[in-house]
């Protein structure tokens, strides 16, 4: 058996290539949208990808099932509860897919979503289960959140009840030695307590995962629905697009380079400038009204949280990272990139009237100004529960675009996060919303804590 986990750190997303060496037949499970890694690996191992299996309709990324099917001729398959606009195969509970000696068994495991499935992997038909691909049903240290469809006619409690049944009736019945391979790891907003480990075993999860500890159904519903942070704004958009027949991504083609006049015309027509440079470079000079989401972090996730998916985008990026920026946006289905600002230094020099710096301050400066500013903590509730600067208004970055109205745009405002990456995003969002005097804290709450500890 050939078994590969392809892990995408920037989205904490895992996909899988499984093949039978004897027959050369293979499947890919939960592919990302830029599919070249699967094609390269299949070619290296002499495999033919025949099936693209999706464990559910993903909300946190736009899956590459259509791209992979177009590139290989593979059939796309979901659990039988899934309905798609494109042609797809429906998989029954208990159905077996034989690749040769390698066998896959489909288990319906609704809960995170109604159509969720898990895939048990056998190295041969008469062997014990080698592994189970659990999608977003069972994570390492957690289970999938059941609240993402609360606005779609299915309540969190209903899904949590399904999840309880799926865990105890389908997954925890597997032998302790069975390896567990989920669709996500730490950092994903699809759960609240995900481990940094990318695989485990059923036995280890039985011992250490709070969500599969012995408890009654009602207690389980309470514990898994409590304490969920607000998901990024683009989640519902992606969940819908993953059902649709949509245009394909060509991951090798760069967006068009725009002239100065074309950039100005695009912005006048409603396009947003998304500046992907690091926060310090952005702070030195940037196009007024642009949003800063640096490529050095969880770029696509944070961009999807503060930029509307139906808005045209002009990218600002370093020349060698233009395709990367476009592809990472495409991974969450943000395809309306009209072009990239070519020679941005030359542009800034030619039109200084359209350019501005961004103010970033250090902890000492904040201490001096603390009594006079509106202080905004844009971390998640799980982070602020461990401590925050006294007097700060708590508005998570994931909800800032919708909830900035709770802030006073006329007051000088200082934004902080944990380390300074997200605060640059948030400060640029507030400036774009009309806040005139906004700066962010270098080093974030970590720097604040360090400074206070050294004084103490």
Report the pLDDT averaged over residues 96-105: 98
313 touches 307 (CB < 8 A): yes
Distances (CA, A) of 134 to 110, 119, 269, 345: 11, 7, 45, 47
Span 173-183, average pLDDT = 98
**Rounded Cα–Cα distance for residues 257 and 348 (Å):** 16
In a domain, 306, yes or no: yes
Per-residue pLDDT band for 342 (boundaries 50, 70, 90) equals confident
How much is the pLDDT for 265?
A: 96
Cα–Cα nearest to 309, from 331, 290, 286, 325: 331
| Domain assignment present for 323 | yes
Band (152; pLDDT cuts 50, 70, 90): low
- The CATH number that applies at residue 335 is 3.40.250.10
The answer to whether residue 251 sits within a structural domain is no
Q: What is the pLDDT of residues 276-296, one digit of tens each?
A: 999 999 999 999 999 999 998
| Average of per-residue pLDDT across 298-313 | 94
**Which of 9-23, 151-165, 269-283, 432-446 bottoms out in mean pLDDT, i.e. has the lowest?**
151-165
Considering the domain architecture, whether residues 20 and 119 belong to the same structural domain is answered as yes
Residues 71 and 116 in one domain: yes
Is residue 170 in some structural domain? yes
Domain identity same for 347 and 363:
no
Backbone φ/ψ region at 339: left (φ over 0), alpha (ψ -120 to 50), beta: left
Q: Quick: pLDDT tens for 35-75.
A: 999 999 999 999 999 999 999 999 999 999 999 999 999 99
Phi, psi torsion values for 282, nearest 5 degrees: -60, -40
Q: What is the 3-state secondary structure (H, E, C) of 49-63?
A: EEEEECCCCCCCCCC
Let me know whether 41 and 91 are in one domain: yes
Q: Is the Cβ–Cβ distance between 283 and 439 less than 8 Å?
A: no
Phi-psi region of 187 (alpha: psi -120 to 50; beta: other; left: phi over 0): left
Calculated CA dihedral for residues 430, 334, 339, 427, nearest 10 degrees = 10
pLDDT, position 455: 57
* Phi, psi of 333, rounded to the nearest 5 degrees: 80, 15
Q: Which of 86-95, 113-122, 444-453 has the lowest mean pLDDT?
A: 444-453
286 and 414 co-located in one domain: no
6 and 44 assigned to the same domain: yes
For 244-271, give one letter per residue: b (16+ CB within 10 A) or e.
Answer: eeeeebebeebbeebeeebbbebbeeeb
Of 239-243, 327-331, 343-347, 452-456, the one with minimum mean pLDDT is 452-456
Q: Would you say residue 150 has pLDDT above 80? A: no
Residue 382: predicted pLDDT? 83
Q: What CATH code is carried by the domain that includes residue 113?
A: 3.60.15.10
Candidate from 20-29, 183-192, 373-382 with smallest mean pLDDT:
183-192
Buried b (16+ CB within 10 A) or exposed e, 395-404: bbbbbbbeeb
pLDDT digits (tens, 9 = 90+) for 272-281: 999 999 999 9
Tell me the backbone φ, ψ of residue 379, rounded to 5 degrees: -75, 170
Q: Is 364 part of any domain?
A: yes
Looking at the structure, tell me whether residues 105 and 153 fall in a common domain.
Answer: yes
The structure tokens 């289960």 sit at 129
Q: Evaluate if residue 182 carries a pLDDT over 80.
A: yes
The pTM (predicted TM-score) of the whole model is 0.93
Domain boundary among 186, 217, 241: 241
Residue ending a domain, among 241, 275, 303, is 241
249 falls within a domain: no
Please indicate whether residue 333 or residue 194 has the higher confidence score (pLDDT).
Answer: 333
Residue 180 and residue 135 share a domain: yes
By C-alpha distance, which of 366, 316, 318 is closest to 337? 316
The pLDDT value given to residue 360 = 96
pLDDT surpassing 60 at residue 127: yes
What pLDDT band is residue 381 in, cutting at 50, 70 and 90?
A: confident
H helices, E strands: number in the chain: 16, 24
- 161 in any annotated domain: yes
> What pLDDT does residue 111 have?
96
Last residue of a domain, one of 305, 336, 356: 356
Q: In the chain, how many domains are there?
A: 3
CB 56 within 8 A of CB 115: yes
pLDDT of 456 above 60 = no
368 shares a domain with 351 = no
Q: Locate 36 and state its tokens.
A: 């070249």
In terms of domains, do 279 and 366 share one?
A: no
Residues 62 and 89 in one domain: yes
Query: Residue 15 belongs to what domain range?
Result: 2-241
Q: Is the dihedral of CA 60, 54, 113, 120 positive or negative?
A: negative
Q: What are the residues whose beta carbons fall under 8 Å from the beta carbon of 456, sequence distance 6 or more?
A: none
For position 453, what pLDDT does the model report?
75
Do both 116 and 28 map to the same domain? yes
Q: What is the mean pLDDT of the chain?
A: 94
Q: What is the pLDDT of residue 153?
A: 72
Is residue 377 domain-resident?
yes
> What integer pLDDT is reported at residue 309 of this predicted model?
94
């Amino acid at each position: 058996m050939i078994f590969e986990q392809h892990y995408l750190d920037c989205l904490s997303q895992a996909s899988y290539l499984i093949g039978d060496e004897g027959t050369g037949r293979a499947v890919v499970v939960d592919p990302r949208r830029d599919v070249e890694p699967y094609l390269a690996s299949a070619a290296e191992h002499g495999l033919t990808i025949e099936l693209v299996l999706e464990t559910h309709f993903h909300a946190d990324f736009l899956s590459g099932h259509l791209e992979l099917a177009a590139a290989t001729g593979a059939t796309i398959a979901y659990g039988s509860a899934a309905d798609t606009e494109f042609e797809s195969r429906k998989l029954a509970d208990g159905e077996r897919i034989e690749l040769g000696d390698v066998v896959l068994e489909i288990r319906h495991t609704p809960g995170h979503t109604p159509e969720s499935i898990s895939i048990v992997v056998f190295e041969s038909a008469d062997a014990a289960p080698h592994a189970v691909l659990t999608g977003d049903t069972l994570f390492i240290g957690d289970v999938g959140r059941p609240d993402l469809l609360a606005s779609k006619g299915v309540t969190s409690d209903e899904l949590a009840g399904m999840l309880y049944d799926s865990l105890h009736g389908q997954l925890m019945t597997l032998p302790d030695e069975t390896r567990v391979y989920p669709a996500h790891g730490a950092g994903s907003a699809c759960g609240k307590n995900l481990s940094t480990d990318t695989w485990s075993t059923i036995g280890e999860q039985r011992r250490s995962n709070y969500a599969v500890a012995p408890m009654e159904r009602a207690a389980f519903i309470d514990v898994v629905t409590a304490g969920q942070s607000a998901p990024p704004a683009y989640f519902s958009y992606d969940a819908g697009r993953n059902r649709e027949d949509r245009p394909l991504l060509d991951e090798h083609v760069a967006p068009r380079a725009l002239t100065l006049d074309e950039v100005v015309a695009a912005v006048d027509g409603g396009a947003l400038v998304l500046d992907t440079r690091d926060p310090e470079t952005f702070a030195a000079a940037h196009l007024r009204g642009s949003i800063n989401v640096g490529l050095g972090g969880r770029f696509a996730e944070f961009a999807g949280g503060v930029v509307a998916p139906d808005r045209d985008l002009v990218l600002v990026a370093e020349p060698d990272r233009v395709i990367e920026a476009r592809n990472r946006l495409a991974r969450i289905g943000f395809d309306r990139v009209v072009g990239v600002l070519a020679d941005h230094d030359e542009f800034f020099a030619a039109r200084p009237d359209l350019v501005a710096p961004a103010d970033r301050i250090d902890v000492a400066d904040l201490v001096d100004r603390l009594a006079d500013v509106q202080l905004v903590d844009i971390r998640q509730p799980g982070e602020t529960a461990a401590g925050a600067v006294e007097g700060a208004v708590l508005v998570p970055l994931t909800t800032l675009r919708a909830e900035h109205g709770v802030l006073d745009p006329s007051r000088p405002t200082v934004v902080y996060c944990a380390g300074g990456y997200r605060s640059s995003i948030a400060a640029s969002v507030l400036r774009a919303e009309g806040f005139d005097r906004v700066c962010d804290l270098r080093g974030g709450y970590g720097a604040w804590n360090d400074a206070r500890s050294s004084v103490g």
